[in-house]
Structure 1
Amino acid sequence: MSGARVDHTLTSGVFTLDGGSWEVENNVWLIGDDDEVVVVDAAHDAGAILAAVDGRRVVAVVCTHAHNDHVNAAVEVAGATGAPVLLHPDDRVLWDMTHPDRAPDGALSDGQSVKVAETELTVLHTPGHAPGAVCLYAPELGVLFSGDTLFQGGPGATGRSYSDFPTIIESIRDRLLTLPPETEVHTGHGGSTTIGAEAPHLEEWIDRGH
């Protein structure tokens, strides 16, 4: 039985891309136990994230993708904890917009495992919202951390640079909707959902995108 639990911190700030800016609230997810933790998407407020870490050893700061609102606190959190920042290399072009002078410490790849508190987090490469977008699947916990690939009510946005609607639909259909329907989906923004709740809507998303 996994000893890991999921903690949540909500941070707020500004998302910028393609010359626009939007006020956003981001979900920051922490997976671990009383001793160690993985931080998923260090957004906006390093102080709030470090308070949630609460002195635990940070195994890694994992970026589901590199839009600025998901990585703008990553370097500060990594610097304060000594943890590596992990990102899929296909999102380096987006990362460099926010952190041009600081490369990620390691690369995420499809099928890779990140281990924390005796729990395996499996990396699923799910491009579409961003080229290097990934989700993290923890079967022992029955949880998927979907970043901005899948939300309560539909797929992530694909109307901006480096995104593609047919690609995100393919990622969701082939990589996420094949997971057990009871899998809880913890998203990058907004409320959580389940695979079973979202799966019936795939066809209408496709119709909406055409």
Structure 2
Amino acid sequence: MSARIDKIVTSGQFKLDGGSWDVDNNVWLVGDDSEVLVIDAAHDAEAIQRAIGDRRLTAIACTHGHNDHINAAAELADRTGAPILLHPEDRVLWDMTYPDRKPDELLTEGEVLTVAGTGLRILHTPGHAPGAVCLYAPELGALFSGDTLFQGGPGATGRSYSDFNVIIESIRDSLLSLSPDVTVHTGHGDSTSIGAEAPQLDEWIKRGH
């Protein structure tokens, strides 16, 4: 039996460039009854730990280093002993939240994380952040896109360390080539699919965000 996907929503603040915004974050759990992987430990380590239950937490994978996606990672790691995984190019953002703590392991393009017998392939998709990644689980027909791709367009690129042309290239080359029926589980808001988003690429390029 392959792994299942669970979601909890946590709330807090996203802070960057001197501003702060109230946000709701999707925290994704992929696993079975005995072990689980957490994608983006946001805001509330206790709530995430409750969702994990008595399962072994294999890792805490960060889709990128913005504070609202990692600000519960250290506490969750300390509670469970699980390693925190981050792409090296997002250390500049990570260090804003955790100046005195490094991620435990570095994510690389093409690497496969395995939980409950299910593989999740790391796709480096810079643009929203330099070290942004998506996790693709072909057996589950699922992509965990962080803030790279949402229902209706790419993630925001108006703040430091982001670039619209780069995120468009990432989405076009790494994501839209996946099967149209792949479900896209996003970092905020509702899930979508590759098939629903792919036809809109030219429109996003035209509007510039």
Q: Under TM normalisation by the shorter chain, which class is it?
A: over 0.9
2:177 paired residue number:
178
- Following superposition, the deviation at residue 3 of structure 1 comes to 2.1
1:76 paired residue number:
75
Amino acid at match of 1:25: D
2:146 paired residue number:
147
2:23 paired residue number:
24
Number of equivalences:
209
In structure 1, what is the Cα distance between the partners aligned to 2:110 and 2:82? 21
Amino acid at match of 1:38: L
Amino acid at match of 2:98: H
SS of 2:140's equivalent? Answer: coil
Quick one: percent identity of the two aligned structures?
71
- Following superposition, the deviation at residue 95 of structure 1 comes to 0.2
1:121 paired residue number:
120
Q: Deviations over 1:40-97 (max 9, x none)?
A: 0000000100000002101100000000000000000111110000000000000000
**TM (normalized to structure 2)?**
0.99
SS of 1:24's equivalent? Answer: strand
In structure 1, what is the Cα distance between the partners aligned to 2:7 and 2:15? 23
1:188 paired residue number:
187
Amino acid at match of 2:3: A
1:91 paired residue number:
90
Amino acid at match of 2:77: A
Structure 1 unaligned blocks of 5 or more: none
Amino acid at match of 1:8: K
In structure 1, what is the Cα distance between the partners aligned to 2:97 and 2:37? 22
Structure 2 unaligned blocks of 5 or more: none
2:36 paired residue number:
37
- Following superposition, the deviation at residue 153 of structure 1 comes to 0.5
2:11 paired residue number:
12
Q: Deviations over 1:6-36 (max 9, x none)?
A: 0100000000000000000000000000000
Is 1:56 the counterpart of 2:41? The answer is: no
2:196 paired residue number:
197
In structure 1, what is the Cα distance between the partners aligned to 2:77 and 2:60? 7
SS of 2:166's equivalent? Answer: helix
In structure 1, what is the Cα distance between the partners aligned to 2:79 and 2:34? 16
Amino acid at match of 1:76: E
**TM (normalized to structure 1)?**
0.99
- Following superposition, the deviation at residue 160 of structure 1 comes to 0.2
SS of 2:139's equivalent? Answer: coil
